[in-house]
């Protein structure tokens, strides 16, 4: 028979390894973005990059809201929703894949056209959040496939991912839609 401490050690080790991997991915993107020479003339899909990225990121934030609602339903934390049907998990995965796919052209354009910049508070927050997004995404995918982790881990990882995406949207698409100014909260 194993003690609770013996079971907690491997889980803590997995969490530490996944956390280090997430930070490593974020750091690698940060370094690549700081070393890269920006090319401000880049367009996206032959269109104005700000318009395309703002539209795609608005779709992404909408999908993230759906993801959070589906996760709450799967964990039976959505009031009055009842037990989730089997399709909810598959829908959550499919939307998650779509969400990732939508963010890739946005991120690649940002990295190639602008790199990681720290020229203003808004730009610095956006750049750093962009680096952390893919680290957090990798961590969440690995956590989904890890067994015997504390029950709080996956919801925290998913919530962190949704918050980072919200920060990215606020500091880019909302900024663009609001006449290149951030609205006051």
6 has pLDDT over 70: no
2 has pLDDT over 70: no
User: DSSP labels for 86-149?
Assistant: THHHHHHHHHHHHHHHHHHHHHHHHHHHT-S--SSHHHHHHHHHHHHHHHHHHHHHHHHT--S-
Share of the chain above pLDDT 90, in %: 74
Distance CA 93, CA 70 (A): 10
- What is the tens place of the pLDDT at every residue in 39-48? 888 889 999 9
Write out the two tokens for 146: 């890890």
Average pLDDT, the chain: 91
> Does the predicted TM-score (pTM) go above 0.85?
yes
Write out the two tokens for 112: 């190639």
37 has pLDDT over 70: yes
**Mean pLDDT across 146-170:** 92
Task: Determine the pLDDT at residue 8.
Answer: 60
Task: Parse the chain into domains and list their residue ranges.
Answer: 23-177
Share of the chain above pLDDT 70, in %: 95
Write out the two tokens for 97: 């894949």
Task: Determine the pLDDT at residue 81.
Answer: 87
Distance CA 112, CA 92 (A): 30
Length of the chain: 185
Distance CA 2, CA 44 (A): 55
Distance CA 120, CA 139 (A): 29
């Amino acid at each position: 028979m194993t003690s609770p401490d013996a079971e907690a050690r491997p889980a803590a080790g997995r969490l530490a390894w996944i956390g280090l991997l997430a930070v490593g991915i974020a750091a690698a993107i940060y370094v690549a973005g700081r070393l890269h020479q920006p090319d401000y003339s880049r367009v996206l899909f032959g269109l104005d990059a700000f318009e395309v990225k703002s539209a795609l990121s608005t779709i992404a934030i909408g999908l993230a809201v759906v993801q959070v609602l589906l996760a709450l339903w799967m964990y039976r934390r959505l009031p009055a929703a009842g037990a989730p049907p089997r399709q909810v998990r598959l829908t959550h995965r499919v939307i998650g894949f779509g969400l990732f796919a939508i963010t890739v052209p946005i991120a690649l354009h940002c990295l190639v056209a602008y790199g990681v910049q720290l020229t203003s508070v808004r730009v610095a927050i956006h750049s750093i959040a962009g680096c952390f997004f893919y680290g957090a995404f990798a961590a969440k995918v690995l956590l989904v496939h890890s067994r015997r982790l504390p029950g709080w881990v996956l919801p925290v990882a998913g919530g962190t991912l949704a918050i980072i995406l919200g920060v990215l949207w606020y500091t880019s698409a909302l900024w663009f839609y609001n006449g290149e100014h951030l609205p006051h909260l």
